[in-house]
Amino acid sequence: MTDIHTLTRKLQRKNDSKIILYVGDGLGGLPLEPGGKTELETANTPNLDALAARSSLGMSVPVLPGIAPGSGPGHLGLFGYDPLQYDIGRGVLEALGIDFELGPNDVAIRGNYCTIDGEGNITDRRAGRIASEIGEKLCEKLDTIKIPGVEVFVHHVKEYRLVIVFRAEGLGGNVDDTDPQKTGVPPLAPKGNDTASEKTAEVCAEFLRQAAEVLKDDAPANLLTMRGIAKMPPIPTFEEVYGTRAAAIAVYPMYRGLARLVGMDILDAGQTLDDQMKCLEQNWDNYDFFFVHFKYTDSTGEDGNFDAKVQRTEELDSAIPRMTVLKPDVLVVTGDHSTPAKMKAHSGHAVPTLLASDICRFDGSTTFGEAACRIGELGQFEAKYLMLQVLAHAGRLEKYGA
């Protein structure tokens, strides 16, 4: 089978079109009862509804039918990278999200401070969710750890979360998590699954040995667990595969990290949707493609708060006029996955998707919601194909074949 990017490298055409990919994280939802409406269908979204009338709608399948993706595969799919082909470790995502520039000799690790008792058993996997100020100070202490032949970087992320990077030639990225996912037991020993990763596991073990010493008086954060121990896979950039100058406007680190992974420039998004819109306006002339990320449709879904997700969906809607006034050639509104409040989790349900462009086959929709998307012009499609539609509707793809 031809790879999507083999095709886009060959067919890409440059023009001065402007594209916005507006991602409502976890946008898809569920009705609470048979016959009911989803969060998106319940929300009052006059701007999205007006946009639907000049759009094609459809349903995006993030990975494969039924498969609930994490944020990594969810976004890679939307960016046109087959999420089953590109497997991005959690450590890599976290490192990218704090602007750490990972190189080919780097192994990145997501760390969680935890609490251990006198016997070495974990009593709290998140160290009482310590404040960020404390987490930051402890990271400074850990950053003094020395391991012969290995450069060690320790960076704080937020509260009990940190990133550790080991830099040395020959370190593998296939080491199991040390977080046992439960309390009352000690952390697992680092275990490498190939020769190079056994070497990494030894480095992890030495780091953890020294960390136990460094943190011994810092309860509740008197140790850490390691998760998502991974190297960055080789991944081609947006510029290479699509010929676009792309920028990300995302408030949360993880999503900036994902955008950086595919070579997008990371803009200063500020803290609010209003900040993000200002950023979009200010940078409108400098890029062809803008990825705008809105987190709260996911977090309210994860909380199981249907009404809050409805409200956040209305907030998502409120930014639409500030985008349409810029007259993008293509404006897509979609999600990286569904996060139904009913399930309090990412789910494998397909994701409502809207693509507005002057050359859409308008499908007569008058509202943006799951029921309308189910019968929309774009049909049900794997997320990895969305970028082909985006580029096509932006006039950025040549004809295939004579």
Binding positions for a copy of itself, 359-398, rule CB under 8 A: 359-364, 370-371, 374-381, 385-386, 388-393, 397
Strand partners, 340: none
Please state, as a whole number, how many other Cβ atoms lie within 10 Å of the Cβ of residue 10: 11
Out of 38, 244, 300, 334, point to the residue binding a copy of itself (CB under 8 A). Answer: 38
Task: Give pairs for 133-136: CB < 8 Å, separation 24+.
Answer: 134/221, 135/159, 135/160, 135/161, 135/162, 135/221
- Tell me the closest approach of the beta carbon of residue 202 to a copy of itself, in angstroms: 24
Binding region for a copy of itself (CB under 8 A) out of 59-67, 147-155, 179-187, 286-294: 59-67
Q: Least distance to a copy of itself from the beta carbon of 279, Å?
A: 26
Name residues contacting a copy of itself, limited to 154-183 (CB under 8 A): none
Question: Which of 288, 289, 286, 308 is CA-nearest to residue 297?
Answer: 308
The residue count for binding a copy of itself (CB under 8 A) is 74
* C-alpha to C-alpha distance for 257 and 291, rounded to whole angstroms: 12
- The site string for a copy of itself over 70-109 (x = CB under 8 A, - otherwise) reads xxxx--------xxxx-xxxx--x----------------
Rounded to the nearest whole angstrom, what is the least distance from the CB of residue 247 to a copy of itself in the complex?
A: 22
Half-sphere exposure in the Cβ direction for 321 (13 Å, CA): 6
Return the residue of 2, 118, 271, 325 that touches a copy of itself, per CB under 8 A: 2
> Distances in Å between the alpha carbon of 347 and those of 23, 87, 251?
16, 19, 23
Which residue, 34 or 118, is less far from a copy of itself as judged by CB? 34
Q: Stretches 180-188, 215-223, 276-284, 342-350: which one binds a copy of itself (CB under 8 A)?
A: 342-350
User: Which whole-number Å values give the CA distances from 267 to 259, 260, 294, in the listed order?
Assistant: 11, 11, 15
Applying CB under 8 A, does 235 fall inside the site for a copy of itself?
no
Residue in 65, 103, 120, 184 binding a copy of itself, rule: CB under 8 A = 65
Separation between Cα atoms, residue 345 and residue 391, nearest integer Å: 31
252 scored as a contact of a copy of itself (CB under 8 A): no
77: nearest Cα among 63, 65, 96, 90: 63
User: What CA–CA distance (Å, rounded) separates 320 from 243?
Assistant: 26
Shorter beta-carbon distance to a copy of itself: residue 134 or 323: 323
Of 88 and 107, the one with the shorter C-beta distance to a copy of itself is 88
Query: In this complex, which beta carbon is closest to a copy of itself, that of residue 23 or of residue 360?
Result: 360
Q: What are the φ and ψ backbone dihedral angles of 234, each rounded to 5 degrees?
A: -65, 130
Q: Which is nearer to a copy of itself, 17 or 222 (CB)?
A: 17
* Sequence-separated (6 or more) residues with CB below 8 Å from residue 209: none
Does 309 engage in binding with a copy of itself (CB under 8 A)?
Answer: no
